[in-house]
Structure 1
Amino acid sequence: MVKKSFRSASCFVTLLSFALLTLTVSCAGNTPVGKDNITVSIEPLRYVMESIAGDRYNINVLTPAGASPETYQLTPQQLTQLRESRMYVRMGTLGFESNQLNKITESIPHIFSVKASAGLTPLWKEGYGSESDSINTDPHTWTSPINMKTIAKNICEALCEMDTTNRELFSHNMKHFSEHMDSIDASVRQMLADVPTRSFLVYHPSLGYFARDYGLRQISLEHNGKSPSAERMERLVKQCREDSVRVIFLQKEYSERSVRAIAEELDAKIVVVNPLSYDWNTEILNIAKALSR
């Protein structure tokens, strides 16, 4: 009798273990485990990539929040992530890309390396060298909805080449993304249509492409990556007065103290922006709203 009970209990435990194992395997099938990795340089590229690729890939971002993509140093863990990725999407204009990543990706034979800014017309940095030197171009190409359409097109074409099975999905998503960029572009133009003051002041010159595409003038406090001298500050205040500047954009990485004095002198409003945010739509529309008030 005892032996029979023991055999029954043993059989029950075995069946229970099998059921739990089956449930575990079934649940594992609904998780993102097993997805291939794609690595991108900055958060706005993750926004574009996820818009085009959907949830087909795990997207890793190299530049963490608050870090400068001009000077950021990669960690060993990030280098491992990069080597394990099927695709790496670089903006192609950022300091840490040219300083660290170009040679690294050349040593990874299996990776698709994509320059997202290919085909864009560059802006040249004021006060730098000749226009034949690509180092002197404004790297912030993603701050324009018009540019973002080209960036997305480059990413979509690369995805279609790498993953032909999902080509139809990528093309479908690209179409919707392009329409969305057109909608944002139209909203920005409408907000800025009757704005009398076409100039704005910014600490770090990150909105040059936005200014170019909407007939605005960007005046930068920072010059060649350095804080303004007293002499430059005096010239800028004079220029801002002549242009009736009423808005000063400050990236969230900088302290308000760096622009508070000039804001008081100009009676201008300080607006904190984050061009490196994943929430790209909100940032672009908030910039336009600030200028339209």
Structure 2
Amino acid sequence: MYKKIISILILMCTVITFSACGNFSKVGSNKTDDKNESQGKIQVVVSFNAMREFVEAVGKDKVEIKTMIPNGTEPHDFEPKARNLEDLNKAKVFVYNGFGMESWVDKSLKVLDNKQLVTVEASKGFDPIKNIDEGEIKEHGQNDPHVWLSLKGAEFQAKNIKEALVKVDPSNKDYYEKNYKDFSNQLDSLYNDYKKKFDTVANKNFVTGHAAFAYLCRDFGLKQSSVEDVFAEGEPTTKKMEELISYSKKNKIKTIFVEDMVSPKVSETLAKEVGAEVQKIYTLENQEDNKDYIQSMKSNLELIYNSLK
């Protein structure tokens, strides 16, 4: 508690220090600031990569985006730095996932001096999947936050983002509406393609390193089992490992999926025990392999589908 109080005080001092600064900066370059201002781009701060993808899809060349959580950082464990608060204090729009993903948001927003900021909780209004683990509920809240890994969830979040961009830039409403519709059509097309594929397989079970795919499973009637929990915390107990081995053998699991930022060691051990292969799957919390959202999700769906055939 003492450390949290000190952290808040430091952030407050930092915001006061930078509140007089007028321009939204990118790596401290005044030239870039001037250029962006002259182009009239909306300055948007997002919490992590998936939110950046959606803002980019809808806003395209009319937005300038800064991502708070850098690649290589586990979003569930992130705490904002002074420079992140500086960026928020100069932005027009702040987009975060919500549903407990970014536990630091309320604390950070309280210390800002930015009356123009439009805040977007991208998951707000979406039908949540409830956490069932008491420890997770106590620490992170009632809801599974991984809405963006559902194509239907991504469409919902992109709509919330579109509405915020229209609010701050109504003169370009048609532009944002068109971009959103184009993105939505891509999502629907991908969903329809794989709904047909998943409907043809009898086996609906797959195993991941991190329980991030519950919303994807809801989309397609699938079931995930995982090495780590919803918030990528803790290795499984011996009992849990035995259950995963038994589950994998019973359901003829051919592939154990591993994700960026989750240790592959336990997944590799599990795969060895059940005679399965290990394959990488994307959570889109970080930008990986130069793939955009559609490319990453198509790869995920194809890998899962092939593992079930």
TM-score strictly above 0.5:
yes
Tell me if 1:287 matches 2:291. Answer: no
After TM superposition, the structure 1 stretch with the greater mean CA deviation from structure 2, 129-138 or 207-216, is 129-138
**Structure 2 SS opposite 1:55:** helix
- Report what 2:12 is aligned to: none
Post-superposition CA distance 1:166-210 (Å, at most 9, x none): 111111111111111101111222332322321111111111111
- Report what 1:172 is aligned to: 178
**Structure 1 SS opposite 2:45:** strand
Give the superposed CA RMSD: 2.5
Structure 1 distance, partners of 2:247, 2:132, is 16
- Report what 1:24 is aligned to: none
Instruction: Confirm or deny: 8 A CA contact 2:204 2:221 kept in the other structure.
Output: yes
Instruction: Confirm or deny: 8 A CA contact 1:277 1:283 kept in the other structure.
Output: no
Deviation at 1:274, TM superposition (A): 2.5
Deviation at 1:133, TM superposition (A): 10
Identity %: 25
Instruction: Confirm or deny: 8 A CA contact 2:129 2:214 kept in the other structure.
Output: yes
Larger-gyration structure (1/2): 1
Counterpart amino acid of 2:109?
Answer: T
Q: How many residues align?
A: 265
- Inter-CA distance 134–69: structure 2 relative to 1 (3 Å threshold): closer
1:228 to 236, 244, 252: 236
The residue correspondences of 1:40-189 to structure 2 (distance < 5 A) are 40-95=46-101, 97-98=102-103, 100-106=104-110, 107=112, 108-128=114-134, 135-189=141-195
Deviation at 1:31, TM superposition (A): 4.9
Counterpart amino acid of 1:101?
Answer: V
Instruction: Confirm or deny: 8 A CA contact 1:199 1:243 kept in the other structure.
Output: yes
Instruction: Confirm or deny: 8 A CA contact 2:97 2:121 kept in the other structure.
Output: yes
After TM superposition, the structure 1 stretch with the greater mean CA deviation from structure 2, 103-112 or 193-202, is 103-112
Post-superposition CA distance 1:254-287 (Å, at most 9, x none): 3332211210122222111231244222221112
Tell me if 1:209 matches 2:205. Answer: no
Instruction: Confirm or deny: 8 A CA contact 1:52 1:156 kept in the other structure.
Output: yes
Counterpart amino acid of 2:105?
Answer: L
Instruction: Confirm or deny: 8 A CA contact 1:203 1:251 kept in the other structure.
Output: yes
**Structure 2 SS opposite 1:202:** strand
Instruction: Confirm or deny: 8 A CA contact 2:227 2:266 kept in the other structure.
Output: no
Structure 1 distance, partners of 2:197, 2:295, is 14
